[in-house]
């Protein structure tokens, strides 16, 4: 008797509308944290969190369906129940108000 | 409107239209260099229409909420009570032409300067959607 096995990796794609190149794509181990995904995607797009002259923090938020993800979770946490365990995430910069 | 500006805006608007359903947006273009987008806050399900005019695209667009019944930007209830939104006046944010006019220092600070790479129209819309979805920054409809 055979049992269905969960895939050993999760396909992750992160898009950024301000990017000069296409999405960050990787097959990641299920235990990979979303903090790591955010960092990898930011490196891919060449963006960094920063602070402006007025001291405002400008951070890039990793989102899933227009909502920020919990960076303490893993890709497996987020992929559970999704179609073919694929994640399509977005990187969005937070804006500064005057 | 210069042809180059018009073509760049149209190109990026096509991509916005292609992903609108994923974001829950309704998108229309009533004229060259103009996009009207309806977006909804996940917090209270209130929807707002935003008019973006890209007279110097890909430089920042003018962005103003408007009343869909009259087209007026001076109807207070058409505006969200949200960080950076100053009802019936402007969006004082580092993504609108009005914001950069009010704060010219933003343009010379690498942290706040307007980035024209990629698809600035889509990027700005995603940033606005995130703002409307963020508790503490969005407080509902202006009364």
What whole-number distance in Å separates Cα of residue B78 and Cα of residue B92? 17
Number of neighbours of residue B122 by Cβ within 10 angstroms: 22
pLDDT band at A2 (very low <50, low <70, confident <90, very high): low
What whole-number distance in Å separates Cα of residue B90 and Cα of residue A50? 25
Distance from CA of B127 to the nearest CA of A (A): 6
CATH code of domain A10-93: 3.10.20.90
How confident is the model at residue B13, as a pLDDT? 98
SS3 content of chain A, % helix, strand, coil (to 5): 20, 35, 45
B64-85 pLDDT tens trace: 999 999 999 999 999 999 999 9
Under an 8 A CB cutoff, do B122 and A17 touch?
Answer: yes
Domain regions of chain A by residue span: 10-93
pTM, full prediction: 0.94
* Of the partner residues A52, A68, A92, the one whose CB lies closest to the CB of residue B127: A92
Which residues does B contribute to its contact with A (CB < 8 Å)?
Answer: 23-24, 42, 83-84, 92-95, 99, 102-103, 105-106, 109-112, 115, 117-120, 122-123, 126-131, 133-134
Please state the ipTM of this predicted complex. 0.90
Tokens of B9: 């805006």
Mean of the pLDDT values across residues B93-108?
A: 96
């Amino acid at each position: 008797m055979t049992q269905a096995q969960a895939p050993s990796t999760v396909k992750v794609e992160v898009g950024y509308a301000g990017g000069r190149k296409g999405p960050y794509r990787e097959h990641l181990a299920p235990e990979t944290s979303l903090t790591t995904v955010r960092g990898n995607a930011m490196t891919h797009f060449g963006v960094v969190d920063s602070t402006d002259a007025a001291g405002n923090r400008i951070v890039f938020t990793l989102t899933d369906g227009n909502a920020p993800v919990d960076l303490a979770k893993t890709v497996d946490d987020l992929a559970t129940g999704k179609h073919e365990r694929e994640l399509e995430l977005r990187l969005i910069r937070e804006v500064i108000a005057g | 409107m210069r042809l180059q500006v018009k073509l760049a805006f149209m190109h990026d608007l096509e991509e916005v239209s292609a992903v609108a359903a994923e974001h829950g947006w309704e998108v229309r273009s009533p004229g060259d260099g103009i996009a009207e987008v309806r977006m909804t806050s996940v917090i209270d399900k209130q929807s707002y229409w935003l008019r973006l005019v890209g007279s110097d695209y890909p430089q920042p667009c003018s962005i103003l909420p408007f009343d869909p019944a009259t087209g007026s930007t001076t109807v207070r209830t058409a505006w969200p009570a949200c960080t950076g939104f100053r009802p019936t006046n402007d969006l004082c944010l580092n993504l609108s032409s009005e914001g950069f006019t009010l704060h010219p220092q933003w343009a010379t600070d690498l942290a706040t300067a307007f980035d024209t790479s990629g698809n600035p129209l889509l990027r700005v819309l995603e940033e606005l959607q995130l703002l409307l979805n963020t508790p503490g920054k969005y407080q509902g409809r202006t009364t």
